[in-house]
Amino acid sequence: MRDQTVPRVSVLMPVFNTAPYLREALISIRSQSFEDFELVVVNDGSTDRSSEILKVFASQEPRVRLIERGNVGLIATRNELLEEARGEFVAWMDSDDIAHSDRLRTLLSKFESDHRIVCVGSNVQVIDPCGKPLGVEAYAPDHEAIRSDQLSGSGMRFPSTMQRRSAAKLAGGFREPFRIGEDLDYLLRVGEVGLLANVESILYYYRQHLSSTCTLHGANWIMHRDLVLSLAHERNKEGADILQRGGVLTLPSTEPTDVRKFVPLVLLSWARGALEYGDRPRALRYLARAVGAAPFKKWVWRSALRLMFSRRLLLG
């Protein structure tokens, strides 16, 4: 019989300088239709108002366990959250995103449908900094298709996922030295423990903004992805990869120039997303910001002009 004093689900939230979006993320978890959960939050040395927001929220919500300390980085924070979790299941939640009110209930029902499943994700609505839609990420529902998609770095959107805590521990948690791609590395190893699945409902709202990890380090995504996939290939061939054997991988750091080059691409992608929803004023604002971020780059002007004179923008 399950210990009724232990929550069935541990929602795990790392926080670092996400004050503009944090309260909305917290409220979306507090508002879950499934109520037997704890929300474990580790504030990784935030220097903005995140600590203040978390303390107020924790004082009002008894299911929150708040840990505050100095900055040690995302991978150590994720592993600390796994160690702190008490639930049979662990659900990840980024502190700048939004969860659908039925997210926990729906993911749990998928686990109950097949006890071989160790990890469940969902389709995702991508949103801009203001919470307006940019597009939908639709993922394959079954294990084999997910594993195939993971070979291109896709398959699941990590913060939308929930795992059996036992499988997360068996997979070995998160590993250095990845600044990005640590979630793909983790999910690939979880998928070696048992079955992966996605539900086809949109249960997660994934926020894009210019201070997100994907924006700041996205220019090096392909390099990180390829290294993660090479480790998976090594495990498949030899039974263990270099990190599991105690070896070390060294990655070059992300250069500031990479970040500056990546920002216009992000803004242009937001403009395209706004156009998909027929929001021409929002698209034009993002096009103007993209040009302003790199006014002397011809490719930015060409991309912006192509979008400005596209049929969708001209005719609505």
The position carrying tokens 């061939």 is 237
pLDDT for position 261:
74
pLDDT for position 216:
62
Q: Are 101 and 180 in contact (CB under 8 A)?
A: no
Q: Enter the tokens of residue 133.
A: 């839609």
Q: What is the bridge-based pairing of β-strands 9-15 and 89-92?
A: parallel
Neighbours of 147 (CB within 10 A): 17
Question: Could you list the pLDDT tens digit for every one of the 316 residues in the chain?
Answer: 556 689 999 999 999 999 999 999 999 999 999 999 999 999 999 999 999 999 999 999 999 999 999 999 999 999 999 999 999 999 999 999 999 999 999 999 999 999 999 999 999 999 999 999 999 999 999 999 999 999 999 999 999 999 999 999 999 999 998 878 999 999 999 999 999 999 999 999 999 998 876 666 666 788 889 999 999 999 999 999 999 999 998 876 655 445 667 889 899 999 999 999 989 999 999 999 999 988 988 989 999 888 878 755 555 5
As a whole number of angstroms, the distance between CA 34 and CA 316 comes to 40
Name the DSSP class of 116. Answer: T
pLDDT for position 256:
46
Q: Which residues have CB under 8 Å from 221's CB, separation 6+?
A: 153, 180, 181, 214
pLDDT for position 257:
47
DSSP 1-43: ---TTS-SEEEEEEESS-HHHHHHHHHHHHT-S---EEEEEEE
Neighbours of 113 (CB within 10 A): 10
Q: Are 96 and 205 in contact (CB under 8 A)?
A: no
DSSP 267-282: HHHHHHHHHHTT-HHH
pLDDT for position 180:
86
E strands, the chain, where?
A: 9-15, 37-44, 64-69, 89-92, 98-99, 117-127, 133-137, 162-164, 195-207
pLDDT for position 313:
58
Task: Enter the pTM of the model.
Answer: 0.93
Q: Are 122 and 198 in contact (CB under 8 A)?
A: yes
As a whole number of angstroms, the distance between CA 119 and CA 127 comes to 24
- Long-range contacts, 284-288 (Cβ 8 Å, 24+): 284/308, 284/313
pLDDT for position 311:
54
Find out whether the peptide bond into 7 is cis, omega within 30 degrees of 0.
no
Q: Enter the tokens of residue 216.
A: 């700041």
Helix (H) or strand (E) holding 223: helix 221-238
265, 211, 266: which is closest to 96 by C-alpha? 211
Main-chain dihedrals φ then ψ at residue 260, nearest 5 degrees: -65, -35
pLDDT for position 83:
98
With 0-12 / 13-18 / 19 or more C-beta atoms within 10 angstroms meaning exposed / middle / buried, residue 171 is buried
**Domain 9-238: which CATH class?**
alpha beta
